[in-house]
Amino acid sequence: MTGKERVLKALCFQEADRVPWVPFTGVHVAKLIDSDAESLLKDSGVLVEAVSAAAERYHADGVCSAFDLQAEAEVLGCELHWSKNNPPAVTGHVLAQGKTLEDLPEFTKDKGRLPVFFDATRRLVEKIGDKTAVFALCCGPFTLALHLRGSAFIMDMMKKPEEAHKVLAFCAEITRRMGEWYMETGAHVIAVVDPMTSQIAPKHFETFVTPYVRPVIDEVHSKKGIVTLFCCGNATKNIELMMQSKPDAIAFDEQVDLGFVKELAKKYRVCFEGNIPLTTTLLFGSPRECVEDVKKRMETGGTTGYILSPGCDLPYDTPFYNLEAVGKYVAFGEEPSETSGFLSLEDALANAEESGDVFEDVAVEPGKVFIEIVTLDSEGCAPCQYMCEAVKNVAPLYGDKLRWRESLIKSAAGIKRTMALGVSTLPTMLINNEVVYDNIIPTAEDLMKQIDKRLKG
């Protein structure tokens, strides 16, 4: 089988000759060609070169053409903050700046960076698509609504549901069009990435997500295409609802148990993709540790309806040698050599301790509040971004009574801090060292109640 055939077998919930391997090649691929995230996501030539290099070097059965969930929001007038080693982040929410849906620019395929992504996808299909499956990614409706409205959208769901539904219907049409336009490029798989849906309860998923992912799923299926739903964060509570939306596959990260999803996948005959840990394994582990993790996932997932992949898009600095080790093991059964020259996770954590690269404890002072948000990285992770934004929005009301910080697990210091706090899901918000919001974005009203309670206490 070719890699593409292997991936398509899995997506049709059929048995493949082995587990297919699809590294979610985000901005990391820029590093393969000595480039950066901004150059990658603004130039189709750079994208094609970098993604092709990843497909070959990592022995991938499938790759993503571009992993950027902000392109649609940019076309609609949102401001972006660019980084050299992360996808851009939305910093100006157009519907929170006095504009209405009627004021937004017309959304057409020739706007913004969309032509870059469509061109790159088409060229990748032509260049490597005979043997490698090409996934085309678009932003899901719920996450796009957050981009347009900001964290205030969470409050809208509770206080102004009619307005929230109006915004979601608008976003659903944007996502549908993206699916249609990506189908025209020849992409083999349309992946609808909606990370913010992990932050809501099942009853809200059924009300505010299910009806709005159906248009793009129906659009792709009407053209005999394949569509997947991708949600990072602890989406356990919504996994079955994702499958009931009738995509061909769902993808999820390490916070969701693979065995649990496999049983649901057999019930609904929906392919499942996941879920190698991004940081503790791929970023900071050794080749041996990566392969040992992968072995367990391949054994659990099996060769029918399962695709091995990272839990989300790869951090820029993910070591080449770890991804090469995974690719060689999956493709050829080749075991990594002894780890001489490679740090294990344990060694990396010990080195961080010795070098003083740690997050210090913060003493809670009477009459003051300390908020700590444990994230993957608010620059590149939408749920992490909007949890941090929730705090930024209320912080000015409290002046020097409130201190806050973000503890990223994309560093050894961040991993140690997470372990010390006993935090198991991302993002998590602690107030005065107590977990208050675990994988859920608070409304401004609710967050202020929690802060005020502790100030009075």
Q: For 238-275, what is each residue's pLDDT tens digit?
A: 999 999 999 999 999 999 999 999 999 999 999 999 99
Q: Reply yes or no on whether the pLDDT at 91 is more than 80.
A: yes
Residue 177 has pLDDT above 90, yes or no: yes
| pLDDT 10s digits, 204-216 | 999 999 999 999 9
Q: Is the pLDDT of residue 362 over 90?
A: no
Q: What pLDDT was estimated at residue 341?
A: 65
Predicted local confidence at residue 359, as pLDDT = 77
Please give the pLDDT value at position 402. Answer: 96
Please give the pLDDT value at position 457. Answer: 76
Q: What share of the chain is helix, strand, coil (3-state, %, to 5)?
A: 50, 15, 35
Nearest to 128 by CA among 313, 44, 2: 2
Other Cβ atoms closer than 10 A to 30: 25
Give the pLDDT band of residue 81 (cuts 50, 70, 90): very high
Q: Rounded to an integer, what distance in angstroms lies between the CA atom of residue 448 and that of residue 129? A: 51
The secondary element (H helix, E strand) that includes residue 40 is helix 37-40
Instruction: Pick 3-332's CATH classification: 3.40.50.300, 1.10.3720.10, 3.50.50.60, 3.20.20.210.
Output: 3.20.20.210
**Residue 388 confidence (pLDDT) above 90:** yes
Examine the pLDDT at 352 and tell me if it is beyond 80: no
Q: Which CATH entry fits the domain spanning 369-456: 3.30.450.90, 3.40.30.10, 3.30.1060.10, 3.90.320.10?
A: 3.40.30.10
> Where is 289: in which H helix or E strand?
helix 287-301
Inform me whether the pLDDT recorded for 354 exceeds 70. Answer: no
Boundaries of every domain in the chain: 3-332, 369-456
| Interval 180-193: pLDDT, tens | 999 999 999 999 99
Query: 191-222 burial string, b = 16+ CB within 10 Å, else e?
Result: bbbbbbbbbbeeebbebbbeebbbbbbebbbe
pLDDT at position 339 is 65
For residue 202, pLDDT over 90 is answered with: yes
pLDDT of residue 361: 81
Q: What is the pLDDT of residue 345?
A: 76
Three-class secondary structure of residue 436 per DSSP: strand
Tokens of 358: 């740690």
Quote the pLDDT of residue 301: 98
Check residue 360 and give its pLDDT.
78
Q: Which tens digit of pLDDT belongs to each residue from 418-429? A: 888 888 788 999
